[in-house]
């Protein structure tokens, strides 16, 4: 996480269309949790709350990253500063029931359970700060570190047995991993490197001599690549960097097949959108650190220093399959290597040549247009998340400790600014709950829980917020919080979480070396 120079943001009044009024939007949630008690000596005693149902304490240093199996959401992988990653089952085992006594009625439950590691990933020589399961079935798990190594392991269908298949090292440091959801390109991963380069690999056991195949490599960023996100159909990859640049890569050639190219990047290259600080409208002094793509794939939001957010239009590649598809052609392709437009291609079938994306012509539309410039917060925007339809919200978590909710359907007006979402500590991650398949649908077509936003921060607390307007639940704002991490801003915060499987369970990555499992039922 990076600290950025503070900048005074401007408050935006809520409009009057059924959302929260200004007084509610600025109400601070007071922390009545951890309290220091005077023990009468020089030793400070801390009263800790622990709402977790289980914990994993196999790491010996901070847990920097966490990911979840796409088919078996109870299976989680964490990576840390101890140069290893662990895979474990987050299902809380039953607590033992203590014998009855006259002092307790009913019988009390025993201590919460510690979870065992299913598999330990080693082989790194520096911190593991990125992990991922491949889509759509979690056939592989990958770890990436500050040593520049990408290590891949094959998983059995149960997600509980693993074997090493290969390693690649093309860079000195890897900052992030993102699994591609395109159904025609299963087991594909993107990574961003400390030198600014972006790499896409496909993992396979069909060729034992080369289980990690480079699909593309891109070199237009000139500063460390800080974040990346695939479009929901997996055809395009959006990345940002500390140099303030933003690129959208045509990884599999679907945009090129439709005649879409970005003149700013030297038409004919694989970047179909490119924005840099040379454009004063886009410029964010201090760099960009977060990116998110809207569920429909039409917009990208990028966040950076001083609370600044830019909304950029993306090309629409009609007919591509959605995230939920499990179809896969299994085609690998060969192709020729080139370096056109800053990219290096190593093959793969083109969507325009009979793939699922070829059923409708691509359209440039508003691709590359800066559709909005936002600033409701005063420090770096570390995390962005779009809500699922029919809601049209964008959530932003900031180093200033606040969360802002913008409404994409109404000019990205600020609907709520929770100024003390995590007290005075940085907000590390925000993410809307993604309803499980078959979740009941309520009034307005919203699936159960889709209005809930989960957040974590350096205060060590996991919180949930109701993003709806005009309801009794929304008037409360905060609908739940769960404690157990040490907090305090230094060495005790929550650095990430996963909540797949419908949001009923959240597993955290703690700076205090512990991963906690919280049961978070969806009302």
Statement: residue 274 has pLDDT above 60: yes
CA 138, CA 144: separation in Å to the nearest integer? 17
Among 449, 422, 436, smallest CA distance to 521 is for 449
So what's the pLDDT on residue 348? Answer: 37
DSSP-derived 3-state class of residue 255: helix
Q: What does the alpha-carbon distance between residue 348 and residue 344 come to, in Å, rounded to a whole number?
A: 12
CB 323 within 8 A of CB 196: no
Pair 86, 70: CB distance under 8 Å: no
Over residues 206-217, mean pLDDT: 92
The average pLDDT across 186-211 equals 95
Residues contacting 467, CB < 8 A, separation 6+:
387, 391, 393, 395, 405, 415, 416, 432, 451, 452, 453, 474
Asked if residue 298 lies in contact with residue 312, where contact means CB atoms within 8 angstroms, the answer is no
Identify the helix (H) or strand (E) that includes residue 256. helix 254-257
Q: Where exactly are the structural domains of the chain?
A: 376-523
User: Residue 57: pLDDT above 90?
Assistant: yes
Note the pLDDT of residue 34.
Answer: 41
> What percent of the chain shows pLDDT beyond 70?
74
Structural contact between residues 313 and 298, judged by C-beta atoms closer than 8 angstroms:
yes
pLDDT bracket for residue 30 (50, 70, 90): very low
CATH code of the domain made up of 376-523: 2.130.10.10
pLDDT digits (tens, 9 = 90+) for 471-500: 544 455 899 999 999 987 667 899 999 999
Average pLDDT over residues 314-319: 77
pLDDT attached to residue 488: 75
Q: How many residues does the chain have?
A: 523
Measured between alpha carbons, how far is 427 from 405 in angstroms, rounded to an integer?
14
Query: Which pLDDT score is estimated for 448?
Result: 84
Q: How far is CA 309 from CA 115, 287, 304, 376, 446, in A?
A: 40, 11, 6, 9, 27
- pLDDT tens string 323-355: 333 222 223 222 222 333 344 444 333 333 333
Where does the pLDDT of residue 259 fall: very low under 50, low under 70, confident under 90, or very high at 90 and above? confident
User: pLDDT, tens digit, for every residue of 279-313?
Assistant: 999 999 999 999 999 999 999 999 999 999 999 99
Please provide the distance, in angstroms rounded to a whole number, between the alpha carbons at the two ends of the chain: 33
pLDDT at residue 338, rounded to an integer: 30
What letter would DSSP give residue 186? Answer: -
Does the pLDDT value for residue 97 go beyond 80?
Answer: no
Contact criterion met (CB below 8 Å) for 283 and 232? no
Of the candidate ranges 189-198, 369-378, 475-484, the one whose mean pLDDT is the lowest: 475-484
Give the per-residue pLDDT at 170.
Answer: 97
Mean pLDDT of 61-71: 98
pLDDT, average across residues 354-360: 32
Q: Which residues lie across from 141 on neighbouring strands?
A: 133, 153
Greater model confidence, 268 or 432: 432
DSSP state of 177: E
Q: Which residues contact 419 (CB under 8 A, 6 or more apart)?
A: 26, 28, 401, 402
Considering the chain, what is the average pLDDT of its residues? 82
% of the chain exceeding 90 in pLDDT: 66
Band (pLDDT 50/70/90 cuts) for residue 363 is: low
């Amino acid at each position: 996480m990076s600290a950025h120079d503070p900048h005074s943001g401007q408050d935006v009044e809520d409009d009057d269309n059924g959302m929260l009024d200004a007084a509610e939007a600025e109400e601070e949630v007071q922390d009545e949790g951890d309290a220091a008690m005077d023990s009468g000596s020089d030793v400070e005693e801390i009263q800790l709350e622990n709402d977790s149902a289980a914990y994993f304490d196999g790491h010996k240093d901070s847990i920097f990253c966490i990911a979840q199996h796409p088919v078996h959401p109870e299976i989680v992988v964490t990576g840390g500063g101890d140069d290893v990653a662990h895979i474990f089952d987050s299902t809380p085992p039953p607590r033992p029931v203590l014998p009855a006594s006259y002092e307790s009625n009913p019988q009390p439950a025993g201590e919460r359970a510690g979870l065992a590691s299913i598999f330990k990933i080693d082989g790194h020589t520096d911190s593991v700060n990125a992990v991922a399961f491949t889509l759509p079935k979690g056939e592989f798990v990958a770890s990436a570190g500050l040593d520049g190594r990408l290590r891949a392991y094959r998983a059995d269908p149960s997600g509980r047995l693993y074997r090493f298949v290969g390693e690649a090292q093309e860079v000195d440091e890897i900052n992030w991993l993102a699994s591609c959801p395109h159904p025609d390109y299963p087991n594909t991963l993107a990574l961003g490197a400390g030198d600014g380069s972006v790499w896409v690999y496909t993992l396979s056991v069909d060729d034992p001599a080369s289980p990690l195949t480079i699909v593309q490599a891109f070199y237009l960023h000139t500063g460390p690549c800080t974040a990346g996100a695939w479009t929901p159909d997996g055809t395009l990859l959006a990345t940002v960097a500390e140099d303030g640049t933003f690129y959208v890569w045509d990884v599999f050639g679907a945009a090129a097949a439709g005649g879409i190219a970005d003149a700013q990047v030297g038409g004919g290259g694989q970047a179909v959108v490119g924005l840099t600080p040379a454009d004063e409208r886009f410029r964010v002094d201090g760099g960009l650190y977060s990116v998110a793509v809207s569920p429909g794939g039409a917009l990208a939001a990028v966040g950076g220093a001083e609370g600044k957010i830019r909304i950029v239009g993306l090309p629409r590649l009609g007919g591509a399959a959605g995230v939920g598809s499990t179809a896969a052609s299994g085609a690998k392709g060969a192709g020729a290597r080139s370096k056109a437009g800053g990219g290096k291609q190593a093959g793969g079938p083109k969507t325009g040549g009979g793939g699922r994306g070829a059923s409708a012509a691509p359209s440039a539309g508003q691709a590359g247009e800066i559709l909005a410039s936002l600033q409701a917060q005063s420090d770096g925007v570390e995390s962005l998340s779009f809500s699922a339809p029919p809601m049209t919200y964008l959530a932003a978590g900031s180093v200033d400790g606040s969360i802002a909710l913008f409404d994409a359907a109404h000019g990205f007006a600020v609907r709520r600014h929770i100024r003390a979402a995590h007290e005075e500590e940085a907000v590390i991650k925000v993410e809307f709950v993604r309803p499980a398949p078959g979740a009941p649908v309520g009034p307005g077509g919203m699936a159960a829980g889709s209005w809930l936003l989960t957040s974590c921060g350096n205060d060590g607390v996991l919180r949930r917020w109701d993003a709806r307007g005009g309801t009794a639940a929304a008037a409360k704002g905060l609908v739940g919080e769960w404690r157990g991490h040490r907090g305090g801003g230094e060495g005790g915060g929550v650095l990430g979480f996963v909540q797949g499987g419908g949001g009923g369970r959240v597993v955290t990555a703690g700076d205090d070396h512990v991963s906690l499992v919280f049961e978070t039922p969806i009302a």
